[in-house]
């Protein structure tokens, strides 16, 4: 099935997104280079429209519906960033969006989805969400856009890598967080076609290690025990994303919860960028000087910046407390 996602599909997605999605900037930091002992290029998808990369895949997928002359509403299930992507894409393309949001979700994501004009159906949990979704999908005029297990969504996310390669052609490795694997699949397919020697790593919270287990066992291990603040990474892989990740991923980095808070705090204090917990998961391996990254040219996808201010400030406090408030700047 992974053959359905090709470079030409990513190239087509880029055409679709031209003038619609931002070409996000690369940010560099001597402090980060020093801290990680690597040369780091941050692809700032937190500056993307809706505050995350998810807008790319969502818009690309919804625009394909238009081509097929599909009318009516677009339905999805998402705790946040994909929901925002779908909501804005529908507003721009003239559809009604219906979004099932399973708890827990960030308050700002809920507000944002609503403000784009989408109808939000709150689900108590993921099981409840599946039930609510199946009722909606039965409507004949409704089209469902999966958050990640969809070739058009994956192709849209692949445009992140296409831009990154143009901005920094010689990367040794690229790191991104893994939830359902849509972004990583897009990165893998694009990188494999254009820069096959670049290594691609998935970063996953220790509290939701289903993707690593799925790739190891070559079956979709459901995300069941979920104890992470990285709200975007609480999903299992799909039958489209698993084979792509198995084929192309170099490996996984497992990240502890305290490292997530530390990475958010580092981004605040040194990088001056706001990242949500799921993004911090991809920054954390650098901050602990993961040995395989030392001395290398590393691209990091900062996937999003949609975090409630209460949680954000609690993470900053936790990070400061953990280090006794004594961190010194060590740039040289």
Binding stretches for a copy of itself (CB under 8 A)? 22, 25-30, 44, 46-47, 49, 51, 88, 91, 108, 111-112, 114-116, 265, 268-275, 305, 309, 312-313, 316-317, 320, 328-332
Q: What is the DSSP letter of 147?
A: S
User: C-beta of 87: minimal distance to a copy of itself in Å?
Assistant: 10
CA distance 259 to 225: 19
User: C-beta of 317: minimal distance to a copy of itself in Å?
Assistant: 8
User: C-beta of 115: minimal distance to a copy of itself in Å?
Assistant: 4
Q: Which is nearer to a copy of itself, 27 or 75 (CB)?
A: 27
Sheet (strand 96-102) strand order: 119-123, 96-102, 73-77, 142-144
Q: Which is nearer to a copy of itself, 115 or 131 (CB)?
A: 115
User: C-beta of 274: minimal distance to a copy of itself in Å?
Assistant: 4
User: C-beta of 68: minimal distance to a copy of itself in Å?
Assistant: 25
Q: Which is nearer to a copy of itself, 29 or 228 (CB)?
A: 29
SS3 50: helix
Instruction: Count Cβ atoms below 10 Å from residue 196 Cβ, excluding itself.
Output: 8
CA distance 55 to 11: 16
Question: 152-169: string of b/e by CB count within 10 Å (b at 16+)?
Answer: bbbbbbbbbbbbbbeebe
Q: Which is nearer to a copy of itself, 240 or 273 (CB)?
A: 273
User: C-beta of 177: minimal distance to a copy of itself in Å?
Assistant: 16
Q: Which is nearer to a copy of itself, 163 or 290 (CB)?
A: 163
At 200, give phi and psi (nearest 5°): -115, 125
Q: Which is nearer to a copy of itself, 3 or 272 (CB)?
A: 272
Q: Which is nearer to a copy of itself, 5 or 58 (CB)?
A: 58
Question: 218-249: string of b/e by CB count within 10 Å (b at 16+)?
Answer: eebbebeebebbbbbbbbbbbebbbbbbeebb
Instruction: Count Cβ atoms below 10 Å from residue 21 Cβ, excluding itself.
Output: 24
Enter the tokens of residue 48: 């993307």
User: C-beta of 46: minimal distance to a copy of itself in Å?
Assistant: 4
CA distance 262 to 108: 22
Q: Which is nearer to a copy of itself, 144 or 268 (CB)?
A: 268
User: C-beta of 318: minimal distance to a copy of itself in Å?
Assistant: 11
Enter the tokens of residue 274: 């706001």
CA distance 225 to 208: 7
User: C-beta of 36: minimal distance to a copy of itself in Å?
Assistant: 16
CA distance 294 to 272: 23
Q: Which is nearer to a copy of itself, 47 or 144 (CB)?
A: 47
Instruction: Count Cβ atoms below 10 Å from residue 19 Cβ, excluding itself.
Output: 7
């Amino acid at each position: 099935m992974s053959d359905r996602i090709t470079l030409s599909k990513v190239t087509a997605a880029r055409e679709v997104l031209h003038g619609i999605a931002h070409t996000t900037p690369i940010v560099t930091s001597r402090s980060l280079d020093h801290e990680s002992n690597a040369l780091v290029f941050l692809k700032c998808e937190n500056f993307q429209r809706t505050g995350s990369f998810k807008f790319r895949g969502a818009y690309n997928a919804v625009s394909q519906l238009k081509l097929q002359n599909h009318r009516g509403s677009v339905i999805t299930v998402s705790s946040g960033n994909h929901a925002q992507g779908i909501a804005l894409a529908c507003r721009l393309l003239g559809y009604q969006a219906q979004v099932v949001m399973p708890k827990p979700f960030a308050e700002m994501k809920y507000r944002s989805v609503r403000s784009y004009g989408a109808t939000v159906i709150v689900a108590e949990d993921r099981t409840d969400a599946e039930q609510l979704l199946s009722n909606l999908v039965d409507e004949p005029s409704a089209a469902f856009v999966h958050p990640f297990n969809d070739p058009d969504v994956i192709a849209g996310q692949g445009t992140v890598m296409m831009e990154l390669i143009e901005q920094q052609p010689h990367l040794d490795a690229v790191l991104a967080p893994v939830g359902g694997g849509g972004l990583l699949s897009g990165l893998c397919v694009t990188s494999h076609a254009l820069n096959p020697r670049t290594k691609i790593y998935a970063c996953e919270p220790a509290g939701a290690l289903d993707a690593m287990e799925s790739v190891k066992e070559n079956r979709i291990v459901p995300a069941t025990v979920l104890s992470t603040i990285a709200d975007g990474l609480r999903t299992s892989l799909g039958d489209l994303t698993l084979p792509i990740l198995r084929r192309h991923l170099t490996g996984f980095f497992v990240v502890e919860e305290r490292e997530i808070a530390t990475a958010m705090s580092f981004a605040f204090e040194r990088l001056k960028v706001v990242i949500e917990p799921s993004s911090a998961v991809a920054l954390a391996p650098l901050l602990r000087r993961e040995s395989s990254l030392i001395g290398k040219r590393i691209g990091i996808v900062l996937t999003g910046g949609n975090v409630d201010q209460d949680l954000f400030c609690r993470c900053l406090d936790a990070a400061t407390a953990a280090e006794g408030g004594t961190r010194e700047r060590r740039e040289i």
